[in-house]
Structure 1
Amino acid sequence: MSAGSLPAPAGERFGAMLGKILRHAWPVLVTQWAGIAFGVLDTAMTGHAGASDLAAMSLAVSIYLTIFVGLMGVVHALIPIIAQHFGAGRHAEVGRAWGQGVWLALGLSAAGGTLMLFPDAWLSFSGEVAPQVRQGVASYLHALVLALPAALMFRTLYALGTAVSRPKLVMAVNLGGVGLKALCNWLFIYGKFGLPAMGAAGAGLSSAIVYWSSLAAGLWLIRRDRYFDKFKLRLGKPDWPALRELLRLGLPMGGSYLVEVCAFTFMALLIAREGTHVSAGHQIVANLAALSYMMPMALGVASASLAAQAIGAGDARLAQRTGQAGLLLALAGAVLTAALLVLLRPWIVAAYTGNAPVAAVVMSLMPVIVLFHLADAMQCLNTYLLRAYKVAVVPLLIQVLALFLVGLVGGWWAGFGPGRGSLEPLRQLLAPQAPPGAGTMWIMAAIGLALSALLLHGWYRRVARRAVLAS
């Protein structure tokens, strides 16, 4: 064997693997930040249009995200499926799977759009809603019905680019979409150049224009990129066996997404019992947790995509080592994020609010957020790695147990229900200045995430080990 053909030392191989994951992850992270910017623009710009418009948009976005996130999770089943085809060199199957994903996105759009056409059914959970707010919610959601097909079809491009190690394509489109979103919001929310001032409805129309433009731009870029020629991307006819495979993996994935979103939604509803300042402080803390989550999620997407490629290539050991590298990066990133949250918390809180009572609530909950994020990062990575092996039902069951029953129901029981005060010694230890209910719910949420991370990691190790032994 010549010197040039000798395998690289194990340490270099692992180091190269870490670098490969990071190169794959950073465009995913930027893409997610760009997506968050859409919501920030809607909130900030609609807020200047009037209080009723802001209230309408906040309610409508909550409804839309509940629907969209669940459906998006189903479409994301394309990522491990396409990545395994790509790793195995089945390029024609990559194009075929993508086409079936487009059909799935269209079918899901019809179902989700139907749910959005009846906002009164959703608003019945919110009690009395002012007529102008109710009308704003309906107008915003009806505009987003037009956006949903484009948003879900664009997610098929996201899945394709991620699975075949071309995530920068979607990143470029999303960054361009942020600028277009700001312009369209300005035109339609405030009524510039003779257009009517549409308020919250204008923000919804703006989203529809941006999503359809992003879809067109993404398709145009893929058509011009010769890298995608070998996949022979095509829509084809609906293939029911292929669609069943997507649904078999996608439905539990969408369920997992919904469990996480609904847990935050119901936390907010329960914590609102402690008053406006506590509710506002909780929203800031929840936003911090969501921003912190973007890093492990990007690493999870990248690690799972590369692991799925290795699985498709028949290299179970490489898939296992890729998972180990991803877990190490996620742990290091989570520790760094936690350290920044601790060291910079006065400046972070000041950036969010100048209201002293709200700031005090946020400061009191920050120690729990550090623990919450560490657990959240590890449960996120293990969930994505299991999806690389097309394992989604067990993670869903674990998350229902840990996040919903232990975290949410347990938090309600100990914070507001029959067991109120039972966790007071632990709250006094971790967050002594925090409001009792909010502090208890965040502690139980962190415990639920930690339990989820442990159970998911145990199951992931079992799946990865069995794949190595079978290879």
Structure 2
Amino acid sequence: MTPQARQGPVRNIVRLAWPMLISQWAGIAFAVLDSTMLGHTNPISLQAMALSVSIFMTIHIGLMGIVHALVPICAQLFGALRHAEIGRFIGQGIWLSLFLSIIGGTLLLFPDVWLSYSGDLPLQVRQEVAVYLRICCVALPAALMFRCVYALATAVQRPRLLMYISLASVLVKLLFNWLLIFGHGGFPELGSAGAATSTAIVSWIALAAGLLAVSRDRFYDPFKLRLGHPVWSAQKEILQLGLPMGGSYLAEVSSFTFMALLAAREGTIVSGGHQILANLVSLLYMLPLAIGIATSSLVAQALGARQPDQARRLARIGIGLGLAGVVLSLLIVMTARPQIIQIYTSDPAIAAMAYALLTILPLLHTSDALQCMLSYILRAHKIATMPFVIQTGSLFGIGLVGGWYFGFGPGYRQLDGVAALLTPGAPPGVASLWIMCSFSMLLCAITLAIWYWKSVNVRKQ
């Protein structure tokens, strides 16, 4: 009997999801801390940070998605009681993380390629972005290796380890931000470079804490955790699932990255308002993400234990819990919209821009949450290629390309009527980007739901 079969499915999903939610919120708090602290310095640094974070997160999350293939792989092994194999895969994941960090670090060294989509930016913005990304090269290996610890703890239902490390990381990040952004305690005032430096420091501290905790916890002894040497057969198995997973992650995050780059064409005020909405979307996304990952882990364990009916039941309950969380989140945010914006910025022009853009949040967040949870449930079945195709076609093809077409291309201002309802008062460029992004999320969610229904029914027969 699998661990989740001993208790009610709702309780198991919640028990696994809430520490993961806090961990995810703590992770996104890094960007929120950077945005809020730099937002009270000057708009130039805020824009530079917004562009830098968008570029770094595109590379980081795309590569992280490959490493996250360890979650369904290890969860199925855990459900099948094949514990010793889990340690072998985690070691291979560490090697894979190091290889991927070389690729990602190389991409971070060419910021002008990314910024070519943003039009004419002030020289100071370009310089700050270049410095920020060079520092992030140091953070990337630690961030990716920590994802192996994350995958292990998630697969075997030990998410509190991640929560404790993440909460501690936020406090350390806050301290180093205060020291390095503003130049307190005798440190130089580094601005956005200080934010990047603090991220690098905290990433390595978190990795060390995670490895130390796992090595000293007797619970992990049966998994025989070890590094070993790179083995192509194991690397291939991770990559077969991880590459389409990473592609899905990349499709979603890159659409937001290029939206930020395109929005920068309309100026610093628009870019700042866009960044506030993007931060809120990321913050709210953590709830369906946590529920989706928790549900996926339990579904994979049920499949490993050869309990397909339980897996389908867990999937339905997980989606229902996620939607309930979406409704509650939207009620809170939309009611406290002015107060939330004040936390991000004291600039009245940026605040007005953010207020206009936030009108589209209910449609965007609901669609985003659904596609997120469905994609994770499909990955629990080791179905990753089709979600990648669907998400890439919808989010990148329709969302991003459509946003450019109506916001900056031949279809300029053709969405003015829709924008008056969904983003009243926002410039046509950034309004079109968010409208098409929301529509693409909705289309993606519907298509993934159809594909899941077809997949589980075919397998049931």
TM-score, normalised with respect to structure 1: 0.88
CA contact (8 A) 2:298 2:311 kept: yes
User: Per-residue CA shift, 1:405-454, capped at 9, x if unaligned?
Assistant: 22222233334433344444444454555544433432222221111001
The answer as to 2:333 corresponding to 1:336 is: no
User: Per-residue CA shift, 1:40-82, capped at 9, x if unaligned?
Assistant: 3334445677776555544433332221111111111111111
CA contact (8 A) 1:379 1:453 kept: yes
The answer as to 2:446 corresponding to 1:454 is: yes
CA distance, structure 2, for counterparts of residue 257 and residue 334 of structure 1: 21
Shift of 1:190: 4.8
Partner residue, 1:6:
none
Shift of 1:222: 0.9
Partner residue, 1:10:
none
1:176 maps to a residue whose letter is A
Q: How does 1:297-336 map to 2 (within 5 A)?
A: 297-336=289-328
2:200 maps to a residue whose letter is A
Partner residue, 1:281:
273
In structure 2, relative to structure 1, the CA distance for the partners of 1:462 and 1:329 (3 Å cut) is same
In structure 2, relative to structure 1, the CA distance for the partners of 1:375 and 1:119 (3 Å cut) is closer
Partner residue, 2:260:
268
Shift of 1:351: 4.1
Partner residue, 1:153:
145
In structure 2, relative to structure 1, the CA distance for the partners of 1:380 and 1:239 (3 Å cut) is same
Partner residue, 1:243:
235
In structure 2, relative to structure 1, the CA distance for the partners of 1:284 and 1:376 (3 Å cut) is same
1:442 maps to a residue whose letter is W
Deviates more, 1:185-194 or 1:136-145: 185-194
Gaps of 5+ in 2: none
RMSD: 2.7
Partner residue, 2:14:
22
CA contact (8 A) 2:58 2:257 kept: no
Q: Secondary structure at the match of 1:170?
A: helix
2:76 maps to a residue whose letter is Q
CA distance, structure 2, for counterparts of residue 198 and residue 431 of structure 1: 35
1:320 maps to a residue whose letter is R
Shift of 1:360: 4.0
CA distance, structure 2, for counterparts of residue 190 and residue 347 of structure 1: 25
CA distance, structure 2, for counterparts of residue 249 and residue 328 of structure 1: 26
In structure 2, relative to structure 1, the CA distance for the partners of 1:47 and 1:281 (3 Å cut) is closer
Q: How does 1:27-46 map to 2 (within 5 A)?
A: 27-45=19-37
In structure 2, relative to structure 1, the CA distance for the partners of 1:185 and 1:340 (3 Å cut) is closer
Decide which structure has the larger Cα Rg and report it: 1
CA distance, structure 2, for counterparts of residue 433 and residue 42 of structure 1: 27
Matched pairs, number: 457
In structure 2, relative to structure 1, the CA distance for the partners of 1:362 and 1:137 (3 Å cut) is closer
CA distance, structure 2, for counterparts of residue 364 and residue 49 of structure 1: 23
Shift of 1:221: 0.9
Partner residue, 1:294:
286
Partner residue, 1:9:
none
TM-score, normalised with respect to structure 2: 0.90
Deviates more, 1:128-137 or 1:343-352: 128-137
CA distance, structure 2, for counterparts of residue 383 and residue 158 of structure 1: 19
CA distance, structure 1, for counterparts of residue 154 and residue 27 of structure 2: 16
Partner residue, 1:184:
176
Q: Secondary structure at the match of 1:255?
A: helix
Deviates more, 1:183-192 or 1:46-55: 46-55
Q: Secondary structure at the match of 1:213?
A: helix
Q: How does 1:80-119 map to 2 (within 5 A)?
A: 80-119=72-111
CA contact (8 A) 1:177 1:210 kept: yes
| Counterpart among 166, 172, 191 of residue 174 in structure 1 | 166
Q: Secondary structure at the match of 2:374?
A: helix
Partner residue, 2:430:
438
2:296 maps to a residue whose letter is A
Deviates more, 1:441-450 or 1:64-73: 441-450
Shift of 1:184: 2.8
CA distance, structure 2, for counterparts of residue 272 and residue 129 of structure 1: 8
Shift of 1:327: 0.7
CA contact (8 A) 1:383 1:456 kept: yes
Partner residue, 1:68:
60
Q: Secondary structure at the match of 1:418?
A: coil
Shift of 1:130: 5.7
User: Per-residue CA shift, 1:125-177, capped at 9, x if unaligned?
Assistant: 55556665555444433332222111111110011101110111011111111
| Counterpart among 410, 419, 423 of residue 402 in structure 2 | 410
CA distance, structure 2, for counterparts of residue 185 and residue 367 of structure 1: 31
Shift of 1:272: 4.2
CA contact (8 A) 1:341 1:370 kept: no
CA distance, structure 2, for counterparts of residue 431 and residue 180 of structure 1: 37
In structure 2, relative to structure 1, the CA distance for the partners of 1:433 and 1:113 (3 Å cut) is closer
| Counterpart among 198, 201, 212 of residue 206 in structure 1 | 198
Shift of 1:32: 1.1
1:461 maps to a residue whose letter is W
Partner residue, 1:3:
none
Deviates more, 1:121-130 or 1:162-171: 121-130
CA contact (8 A) 2:78 2:156 kept: yes
The answer as to 2:248 corresponding to 1:256 is: yes
CA distance, structure 2, for counterparts of residue 147 and residue 463 of structure 1: 39
In structure 2, relative to structure 1, the CA distance for the partners of 1:48 and 1:354 (3 Å cut) is closer
CA contact (8 A) 1:79 1:163 kept: yes
CA distance, structure 2, for counterparts of residue 21 and residue 310 of structure 1: 13
CA distance, structure 2, for counterparts of residue 18 and residue 194 of structure 1: 51
CA distance, structure 2, for counterparts of residue 73 and residue 407 of structure 1: 21
CA contact (8 A) 1:49 1:189 kept: no
CA distance, structure 2, for counterparts of residue 361 and residue 60 of structure 1: 21
